[in-house]
Structure 1
């Protein structure tokens, strides 16, 4: 089959919202525009030629459905029509917050390796015999990834357009708790108004979503007493234990080079399951879990050789229901797209023509 087009960079997103976020990031502070192309194909494909004045053709596509199987189908089908210099996946993932390693919500995990479990066996002694599959990032681009990740603070939050920026869930939770503690007891509407004044532009729905999470958590920080919101003992302990409270968000995007593990179904208790997943996938360097990364790397390597495959995803939650906040997902998808844009701008000489 004759190829229709060649893309220097093809970005694959598991969700339409992720592609929209990536599009806004790549258009931000440029005169570049992405337009819908190849409209006869059964998925949304957008394209920009000479992106940001560079001799680069960049395309983006979104899966119709999320998940590893759908990723493999889409990537295999794209290879029937297009050739690429680099094929990348951006979007969101679940991950552990780890202040010692400077990992929190919004941090970008750039995959130096992807992995997935592959038919492990439960042995008679109740121990698990792991079987796993791996894909290492191409050796041509690994040094460039590590170089960019190592330069802390080089990627300003300004590279995310204002309509996609969101304050982190941790910061919003701490502001809510601080306001309740300072008041000794506050009405819901007064609390929301207080936080709106501190975070101009934040949606009321987002505040209500975060407040609902911390009031209904297994160890809530805030509870209702005599029609007022008051801090619980758990909330008071948290506030007293912090070296800085509330601690504002960083004005730069953080990134780490690590493994991303992929599972077939969503993990709803990552805080309890991460160690087991690392064991079953035989990889202690896993910093993020998603449903697509490894399946993307496998299929992209097979279908687009010699096009370089790469994955980077922003941590949007902890993989547990209490941590999942819809308002923050666009921001996390945007941080991963911003790091990819940074990589393309700085290291485009690595992308084959």
Structure 2
């Protein structure tokens, strides 16, 4: 450290600096975990703001603005906030006044911070942001820089990479860095769809669910968030990474080739998406005589509207209505200790060379 910087402690001036020099916090490393996002509430205007931000993202909907925005603003955002708000209300954490995703992400942040402190002492600051809604990526990056983070590891909580998830989260992080006078050094954590630690945590969650089931499910459905099939053809690796996650999970469990089916949920619009669609596939299974299935959602690091309402609601109903008798939803890894060990391992691995 040269004379112009001097020895710094929290909120001090550099050695040899004039009296009017701004105080500078002690240097830190930052780990910033990021999830998709959540509305602030399930009322109409909160839902409209959230959906407007989400559905205006070019990584999510890449239709030209002149064609998409009139449809979005005049039709979709007039009607959809009511139905989406009703769905959010059905899963809302009313005690804490927030969505389950927010509750879980806070718990994940706290657990990761404890593990980082155990590894690195007070050297690392851990925080979280949302790509859409609050806390915004920009606000948290600003807070971390002001707290002294001179290097930030950005960690999108998506095991499989997709342009509409990982890439747009990274985009927003880089845009936030553009606003900083003193820009920190930055790294991003890559997809971890084939990490042995992640696969192990996923496998153990399946084993626990199967051990607790009154009767063993006949099939396991690995339901991933969908995307337009066109994105795959344009080079997005998401579909391939989902397929590999399923294969590695099956191999770790020691199951046969047809014991796990890969499907895709959350289809939106008229364009063809990745198939098979989960809601259709489970109904077809029930009609073919399958009575007991379990569903796991390996693309989600935390339970949210797509798991708690869509899988537990729409997809469960499709299976049961078609004749299925036993539907087991296996929760996301959330803040399970083994999952948090996985995230801590990945964070520490990507902090290599930055930590003392």
Please indicate, yes or no, whether the TM-score normalized by the shorter chain is above 0.5: no
Structure (1 or 2) with the greater helix fraction = 2
Structure (1 or 2) with the greater strand fraction = 1
Higher relative contact order (CA 8 A, sep 6+): 1
TM value normalised by structure 1: 0.34
